[in-house]
Amino acid sequence: MRRKDYPFYETTVFRDLKAATEDPARRFPDRVAISWKDDPAAPDVTTRTYPEARDDVRAIGSSLIARGFSEAHVALLGEPSYEWICSYFALMGIGSVVVPLDPELAASDLAELINHADCTYVMFGDNVAAKLASVRSELPQIREWIYIGKAGRFTTDAPAAEGGSTDASAADECAASENVADENSGFEPTPLSVIIADGKARLDAGDTAYLDYVIDPDRMATIVFTSGTTGKGKGVMLSQNNIALDMTNGMYLFDITPKTMLLLPLHHTFGSTVNLVGHYVQGSEIFISSGLRYIGKEIKEQGPSHLILVPIFIEKIHDRIWTNIAARGKTRIVRLAMRVSNLLRKIGIDLRRKLFREILDQLGGKLRMIICGGAALRQEIIDDFDAFGITIMNGYGITECAPLVTCNR
């Protein structure tokens, strides 16, 4: 049997997750790192370049290290957001043990996991505040709560907290906007806007604690709880070296393209390691999806060149494609075109992007690759997408391996 040569693609080697934010800012000074919509119904997109994101990470890290977060266990929970991403990188940059949790869990489950992971700080986003407030009495060891949701968004004019203390008016505004506090609870988290303003003030004053902190790449860096498909979720301990090596070696397999979308939850390693870290260090623009109900609309609007998905998303996209084809009475014609196209490819003629332009346009017009993981995907779906001009790379991984183990090419 004749063997084909599949050389590795070029990739970025990085030693830890502080380098994962510092290095791309130098290599891609004008490139957008993260983008998102503040209003999913509006066309406007907010962007942050790699240097802007690095500066925000530095500011958060500088403030957190002064507040005692360095090397502490920190629960991080919330929907995917720019604030979540910057908080994650900042915590990694000061040696904290990041404990990402599912914001959809019940309040009692969140309290149990926060205690089980020995967390002494909590950073949380929207839709979680009421849950945390209700179990606050079960978490007496928590030294500070930081709100990273929309009401605590980054501002350039937020007042710096002198000596690292909380700005009361900003905290009150945050609490009121999210119903975090009431007259009796005393639950008044610090908004991230205060943290970033404080961090910028420290950096401007010459504070180099964040920049000087030396990461031990073999020290435990995160505790990721598995989904618990066969019982209760188990806490998996990973180092920064685990994550860096997994992505350094894993990304040799993929021809990473200019733009992707963050569609996966960040409390799982497929989302945090592959979808976020692996693509961030390669210089891809990562558009943060506004949620499940907007996925189809935003894929068409944003025009990603590749996606990272689990099978259920791919199956839904596949079903929608064929439903639309059937509604127009073109199923037989499209099937015939697929057979003809596949025959032409055998003699070196590839017309897929032209023949199936209407289908590809529904996916933004630029999509060429989907990285799939998390479960098995039916071969017929893989074959259909390949016939349309989109390659699906099927990967296998487990949380304990950070998570990528292997992938086809």
pLDDT tens per residue across all 409 residues of the chain: 466 777 788 888 899 999 999 999 999 999 999 999 999 999 999 999 999 999 999 999 999 999 999 999 999 999 999 999 999 999 999 999 999 999 999 999 999 999 999 999 999 998 898 999 999 999 999 999 999 998 656 543 443 444 444 444 444 444 444 444 443 356 889 999 999 999 999 999 999 999 999 999 999 999 999 976 667 789 999 999 999 999 988 888 888 889 999 999 999 999 999 999 999 999 999 999 999 999 999 999 999 999 999 999 999 999 999 999 999 999 999 999 999 999 999 999 999 999 999 999 999 999 999 999 999 999 999 999 999 999 999 999 999 999 999 988 7
Q: Is residue 369 part of a domain?
A: yes
Q: Is residue 302 part of a domain?
A: no
| Among candidate residues 262, 292, 322, the one where a domain is terminated | 292
d(Cα 296, Cα 180) in Å, to the nearest integer? Answer: 33
Q: DSSP characters for 10-42?
A: P----SSTTHHHHHHHHH-TTSEEEEE-SSTTS
pTM: 0.91
Which candidate, 145, 134, 122, 140, places its Cα nearest to that of 74? 122
Do 153 and 241 share a domain, yes or no? yes
**pLDDT value for 153:** 61
Do 226 and 331 share a domain, yes or no? no
**pLDDT value for 18:** 98
Task: Say which DSSP state 163 is in.
Answer: G
Do 240 and 336 share a domain, yes or no? no
| Among candidate residues 266, 292, 318, the one where a domain is terminated | 292
Do 112 and 229 share a domain, yes or no? yes
Q: Is residue 11 part of a domain?
A: no
| HEC sequence for 66-105 | HCCCCCCEEEEECCCCHHHHHHHHHHHHCCCEEEEECCCC
Do 128 and 158 share a domain, yes or no? yes
Handedness of CA 63, 69, 71, 73 (dihedral sign): negative
Do 272 and 362 share a domain, yes or no? no
Q: Is residue 389 part of a domain?
A: yes
d(Cα 279, Cα 387) in Å, to the nearest integer? Answer: 26
d(Cα 1, Cα 162) in Å, to the nearest integer? Answer: 71
Domain that holds residue 117: 19-292
- CATH code, 268: 3.40.50.12780
Do 40 and 74 share a domain, yes or no? yes
Q: Is residue 10 part of a domain?
A: no
Do 172 and 51 share a domain, yes or no? yes
Do 96 and 194 share a domain, yes or no? yes
Q: How many beta carbons lie within 10 A of that of residue 7, not counting itself?
A: 6
Q: How many beta carbons lie within 10 A of that of residue 204, not counting itself?
A: 10
**pLDDT value for 229:** 63
Do 285 and 360 share a domain, yes or no? no
Buried b / exposed e along 8-20 (16+ C-beta atoms within 10 A): eeebbebebbbbb
In the numeric block, which tokens belong to residue 193?
């806007």
DSSP 3-state assignment of 383?
helix
Question: In total, how many domains does the chain have?
Answer: 2
d(Cα 189, Cα 276) in Å, to the nearest integer? Answer: 27
Contact by Cβ (8 Å): 387, 352: yes
d(Cα 14, Cα 248) in Å, to the nearest integer? Answer: 7
| Among candidate residues 292, 324, 349, the one where a domain is terminated | 292
d(Cα 408, Cα 263) in Å, to the nearest integer? Answer: 22
d(Cα 241, Cα 350) in Å, to the nearest integer? Answer: 41
Q: Is residue 45 part of a domain?
A: yes
Quick one: 407 exposed, middle or buried, by C-beta within 10 A (0-12, 13-18, 19+)?
middle
Q: Is residue 3 part of a domain?
A: no
Do 391 and 345 share a domain, yes or no? yes
Which candidate, 306, 251, 305, 289, places its Cα nearest to that of 273? 251
Quick one: 110 exposed, middle or buried, by C-beta within 10 A (0-12, 13-18, 19+)?
buried
Q: Is residue 288 part of a domain?
A: yes
Which candidate, 353, 259, 346, places its Cα nearest to that of 308? 259
d(Cα 86, Cα 89) in Å, to the nearest integer? Answer: 5
Do 237 and 337 share a domain, yes or no? no
